[in-house]
Chain A
Amino acid sequence: MSEQKTKLVEVPGGIIPERDVGQPPVLEVRHLGIDFGGLTAVDDFDFVIGKDEIGGLIGPNGAGKTTVFNLLTNVYQPTRGHILLGGVDTRGKKTYEVNKLGIARTFQNIRLFKTLTVLDNVLIGMHNGMGYNLGSSVLRLPAYWKQEKEAKQEALSLLSIFDMQDLAEVHAGNLPYGAQRRLEIVRALATNPKILLLDEPAAGMNPSETAELMENIRRIRDRFGIAVILIEHDMNLVMNICEGIAVLNYGRIIAKGTPEEIRKNPVVIEAYLGKKGGATDAEG
């Protein structure tokens, strides 16, 4: 894989790849914020991502990264601000409606359908891709057979991205940890999203698994032409595959830019290492 980095340019409100200038961004977030009681978990969050960009969201523990994902998928309703998905304001929509509009996600604490098979997990992701009605199920009309057959083929082909097609009949809960994380990505892809949100996809993976995951995220982006936003503590992974990075601390964006800019940014270094330079294990 070529390591050529996309050139990023500033536009009002964010940084996007040069190739996306002039195109409407697939996701545009304005002044987003949420309070939990007295706690402001996220505030004034501005973010723009291009059609097939890989963006990173990093920050210390408790910075509010997962909360941003929960806001984007309307698991939480924002206290302030707007989310525009392909120009459509998602305010007031249900989580499943946001998914239909094109946002799919994985979870930091894996949420698979554990006692169902790997194949069923993916097929559930393809639920809205199939359209046959209840009558077709009960009477096993041709629509059922045709769509189920196509869906199964599609599911196996998605699983093959991670070389998991032979695990199709295994119960998801019996998969090793790394495979569970990969299955979550496949299931999210199965919903045919425009934007894929990955919450710490490499957590718990060993270095070789992580390297493979990195390749696969890029390949997914290229094959499906979708945007990816990933939360990750593994700086190696983030710096390698993200074209743009936003750094979150105490619910606010403290820096945005290319991996090089972020790496050198003194504010970011301070947020991760602390004012007095007391070393922490931020990159662990």
Chain B
Amino acid sequence: MKTNRKTIPMPMRYLINTVLIVLFVLASTLFVNSDAVSGYFTKILMVIGINIILAISLNIATGYLGQLPLGHAGFMAVGAYTGGIFLKAVDAAKATGGTYYLYIAAALVLSGIVAGIFGILIGVPALRLKGDYLAIITLGFGEIIRVVLTNIDSVLGFDLTYGASGLKRIPKITTFFNVMLCVVLSCVVIHMVMKSRHGRAILSIRENEIAAESCGIRTTYYKVMAFTMSAFFAGVAGCLYAGYLGSLQPSSFGFMKSIEILVMVVLGGMGSMLGSILSATVLTALPEALRAFSDYRMVVYSLVLVLMMIFKPTGLLGQYDFSLSRILEKLMNPKKSTGKKEGASHE
């Protein structure tokens, strides 16, 4: 790690990464929109994208902050219903041109914000307490949200969520490009926050709360910040989900949905964004590929969780994270790479 090692200077890194990401988004969109990819396959890709956002958002609270929220689907539900009701209210399907995209952007941001507000409301009381209160409180929250969504209309006296029969005819605004853009933006924002003094403060709480506090970190503040970020992106994912399905039912956001997201994070490696992305992809695609076994999905999930905890409690990737620049740098320094794999093949 000394002087003679070639590294890419910072602004250059960002430039390279930005160009690569933009190219990737455009190329994949063109590819998916071409005739080569079937509509069915595109749908799966969209669900994968939504699940990726759910997983990386839960990873903020679980992997980075070190808490165990059990009601992530609750925040997703808040975002989904907010987005769905908003899109219906403004009648986004009838909008044209710029207004249409403005509505979509507004729906996504609004869903995130409302879910984030719920994150603050849950996080402030739950995170001030030491210990495992958050798990219990979020578990309760997830269930309460579901019950509220089912019954709120009779309290309000007018139709808002349409109860158990479901919120229908939501404009289907979600496209592969939308999803892709949201995935990339979520990843970038989370990455930027985590590689800053704010992110380090969040990590320090996971590592040792007492030490963090004695280093001058406002632990409660940063816990709530991380938890709110986590809820925000879950809300965004919820909005995409609403715009993808076109109809919502409270029962889709139950405890099992929360566990499903949690499994993705745990399997990928708590604290690894790349891990969350990969396992969200695999765990979404696999049940589709193995339709016959879909009834046993929860059994398999539980089994995977138990086996992970026994054999690799840090998850498949541990805290490893992906870096394009690191790979480029490795290619620039073929001989010095102390790693095992490269050496020979690159002469």
Seen from chain A, the residues whose Cβ lies within 8 Å of a Cβ on chain B are 73, 75, 94-96, 99-100, 104-105, 107, 111-116, 120, 123-128, 130, 132, 134, 136-140, 144-145, 147-148, 151, 169, 187-188, 190-191
Contacts and interface: CB of A to CB of B under 8 A. Distances in A.
Contact of B196 (A73, A95, A137, A169): A137
Contacts of A75: 210, 214
B211 A111 contact: yes
B26 interface: no
Contacts of A126: 197
For chain B, the bracket of interface size reads 20 to 34
A166 to B, nearest CB: 8
Nearest to A120: B200
A107 B208 CA distance: 12
Nearest to A99: B216
B216 A138 contact: no
B72 to A, nearest CB: 22
Chain B interface, >50% SS class: helix
Contact of B215 (A134, A138, A139, A187): A187
Interface string B10-21: 100010000000
Contacts of B1: 169
Contacts of A134: 193, 198, 225
25 contacts: A73-B214, A96-B213, A96-B214, A96-B215, A96-B216, A104-B215, A107-B210, A111-B210, A112-B208, A113-B208, A116-B203, A116-B204, A116-B207, A120-B203, A123-B200, A124-B203, A124-B217, A127-B197, A128-B216, A130-B197, A132-B197, A138-B189, A138-B193, A140-B14, A151-B197
Contact of B213 (A94, A114, A116, A148): A94
A124 B14 contact: no
B247 interface: no
Contacts of B161: none
B199 A137 contact: yes
A134 B208 CA distance: 22
Contacts of A151: 197
Nearest to B219: A96
B204 A124 contact: yes
Interface of B: 1, 10, 14, 189, 192-193, 196-201, 203-204, 207-208, 210-219, 225, 319
Contacts, number: 97
Given A111-B208, A116-B200, 15 more contacts: A96-B214, A96-B219, A99-B214, A112-B207, A113-B207, A115-B319, A124-B217, A125-B216, A127-B197, A127-B215, A132-B196, A134-B193, A138-B193, A140-B14, A144-B196
Chain A interface, >50% SS class: helix
Task: Report which residue of B193, B210, B216, B219 has the largest number of chain A beta carbons within 10 angstroms of its beta carbon.
Answer: B216
Nearest to B213: A95
A105 B10 CA distance: 34
Task: Report which residue of B14, B193, B198, B211 has the largest number of chain A beta carbons within 10 angstroms of its beta carbon.
Answer: B211
Contacts of B225: 134
Contacts of B193: 134, 137-138
A94 B212 CA distance: 12
B247 to A, nearest CB: 34
Task: Report which residue of A95, A114, A128, A144 has the largest number of chain B beta carbons within 10 angstroms of its beta carbon.
Answer: A95
Task: Report which residue of A127, A128, A190 has the largest number of chain B beta carbons within 10 angstroms of its beta carbon.
Answer: A127
